[in-house]
Amino acid sequence: MEIKEVQKSEEDGGHKHPHFYASWKRILLTTHHTDIAMMYIVLSFFFFILAGVAALYIRYGLTRENTVGASAFSSLFTVHGISMIFLWILPVWVGFGNYLVPKYIGAKDLYFPKLNAIGFWLLIPAGALIWLGMPNTGWTAYAPLTILGPDAGIGVDMLILGLHLIGTSSIIGALNFIVTIFKMRKPGITFRNMPLFVWANLTTSFLVALATPVLAMALTLLLLDRNFGTGFFNPNLGGDPILWQHLFWFYSHPAVYIMVLPAMGAISMILPGLSRRKIFGYTSIAVSTALIGILGFGVWTHHMFTTNLSLTAKLPFMFMTLVIAIPSGVKVFNWLGTLHGGHIKMNTPMLFSLSFILSFIIQGVEGVFLGTLPIDFLLHDTYFVVSHLHFVLFGVATQGVFAAMYYYFPYMTGKKYSEGLGLAHFAITTVGLYMMYTSFLVLGMQGMPRRVFTYLAEYVPMNIFATFGGILLGIGTLLFVYNMVKSWYNGKPVKNKEDPWGLAKYNLKEWA
């Protein structure tokens, strides 16, 4: 297909804006927020597929004994986890933020467009360092394993440097979003009527700006321990491995909300649009978003309930873990209130949004169990935790991405996607999702430990069931990619790119 050299761009005041993929020079030099957004999304999906292949190979090893050795399993497990968090979910939502935030607040671009481009380009060497290093440490990189472990080679240093680049990219993006939202809002857009995706993005940006430097500090100390003989985490030199866990989880639990809050914001825009009515309880959703951001800094130690911390130290974190369920529950009731009485358009983005809500409830219930001290002692190192994590990262965050991709695709490209392929993607993915992660849930309750490459015969049936679910997820992802690429190049044009879902008919509008 012949690529048109220009496209209309209302965010540039209506003047012609070249396609960023019209030439390699344009790709390398563009600083426009819509271009950077698409590049973030495309690169993120590349790493999503790469990490998904690693996951399928892990599942293959868990289904056919002795096909994947201990070292290979651990390396695949590490790069899968690191990639799905740092190279998929985090940057893909930065991509959506790049595209949506300026449009939702009436700005022509982000406040620092060149820094925005630098933030994107840092991800490519970061991903290369992580995948070429193939570290063998687990995605949490626990010390002293990453210092004294038999496989703690140069791959760990490459991981540290890669994560530093990703952290720098994240901080650049977060500060850019904060300044843009505070300084570039169109007259009339205030914090009382700002679109809920912008609220989610603003809260996420503060989380990134405040939490990421702590991870950067921990990684720097780990690098010093490994290469310069310091003893921050090395017990042989008087260091404390528990300190690593404190610093790591002080970042990594807020990171859960960094991954999930943008999905909540997107769902809070999609449900009203496809229900043809205003969001139910705008203020309570906005306030609950901010509360989740604030409370998210007070729960990190619930990842450490099985360490030797005193009961006095653990109890406040158990309390905060249970309290944070309240603003999350508020959102669910508001989403259901929005659907009630609406003129619901039951299409692909709506179906993914409904499955998102179901997964959100499931992971929330699992989280309450894991946040309760006595139960966590029984479940902590089992597949119950793996189920909870994957319901968060795939059931919630990734399904939120799929819903947003289908909903905003006509806005981004001016083309229609194939609804038939979209529905097939939803059906296959949903069946695979609940097959796989409910299998993990059952395995966890049966007592199967996580992070193992071999296991007792009694766990075989559910592992096979989980692997079939993983295969379905892979097939669904291939369908999705085919649908998006085919529709981007050959899809039918929408009648009105500014209102493809017909919101004006219901006195609603998408952009500022």
Give 512's pLDDT tier (boundaries 50, 70, 90). Answer: low
Furthest CA-CA distance within the chain: 70
Residue 433: inside a domain, yes or no? no
The answer to pTM > 0.85 is yes
**For the residues of 279-325, what is the DSSP string, one character each?**
PTTHHHHHHHHHHHHHHGGG-GGGGGTTSS--HHHHHHHHHHHHHTH
Q: Is the pLDDT reported for residue 6 higher than 60?
A: no
Angle at 505 between CA 500 and CA 509, to 5 degrees: 60
Mean pLDDT of all residues in 256-263: 95
Q: Strand 16-18 and strand 6-8: pairing?
A: antiparallel
CA–CA separation, 391 vs 397, rounded Å?
Answer: 9
Q: What percent of the chain has pLDDT over 70?
A: 96
CA count, 13 A, side-chain hemisphere, 365: 6
- Per-residue pLDDT tens over the stretch 444-465: 999 999 999 999 999 999 999 9
CA–CA separation, 123 vs 166, rounded Å?
Answer: 6
Q: Is the pLDDT reported for residue 107 higher than 80?
A: yes
Least confident of 75-79, 94-98, 174-178, 492-496: 492-496
Residue 185: inside a domain, yes or no? yes
Q: Is the pLDDT reported for residue 200 higher than 50?
A: yes
Measured CA distances, 350 to 176, 406, 487 (Å): 31, 9, 19
Check: CB of residue 48 under 8 Å from CB of residue 29: no
Contacts of 217 (CB under 8 A, 6+ apart): 247
Give 56's pLDDT tier (boundaries 50, 70, 90). Answer: very high
- Per-residue pLDDT tens over the stretch 371-428: 999 999 999 999 999 999 999 999 999 999 999 999 999 999 999 999 999 999 999 9
Q: Is the pLDDT reported for residue 4 higher than 50?
A: no
Q: Is the pLDDT reported for residue 429 higher than 60?
A: yes
Question: What is the number of structural domains in the chain?
Answer: 1
Residue 286: inside a domain, yes or no? no
The confidence score (pLDDT) of residue 20 equals: 67
> Which residue range is the domain that position 235 belongs to?
19-261
Mean pLDDT of all residues in 168-191: 96
Which amino acid is present at 461? Answer: P
The confidence score (pLDDT) of residue 502 equals: 87
Determine how many CB atoms are found less than 10 A away from the CB of residue 377: 11
Mean pLDDT of all residues in 297-303: 92
- Per-residue pLDDT tens over the stretch 224-247: 999 999 999 999 999 999 999 999
Residue 360: inside a domain, yes or no? no
Check: CB of residue 501 under 8 Å from CB of residue 409: no
CA–CA separation, 265 vs 200, rounded Å?
Answer: 5
CA–CA separation, 139 vs 129, rounded Å?
Answer: 15
Residue 215: inside a domain, yes or no? yes
Contacts of 482 (CB under 8 A, 6+ apart): 421
Taking phi over 0 as left and psi of -120 to 50 as alpha, with beta for the rest, 448 belongs to: beta
Q: Is the pLDDT reported for residue 119 higher than 90?
A: yes
Check: CB of residue 370 under 8 Å from CB of residue 385: yes
Residue 304: inside a domain, yes or no? no
Check: CB of residue 15 under 8 Å from CB of residue 9: yes
Residue 504: inside a domain, yes or no? no
The confidence score (pLDDT) of residue 9 equals: 40
Residue 210: inside a domain, yes or no? yes
Tokens linked to 221? 């100390």
Class of residue 422 by CB neighbours under 10 A (exposed 0-12, middle 13-18, buried 19+): buried
CATH number at residue 85: 1.20.210.10
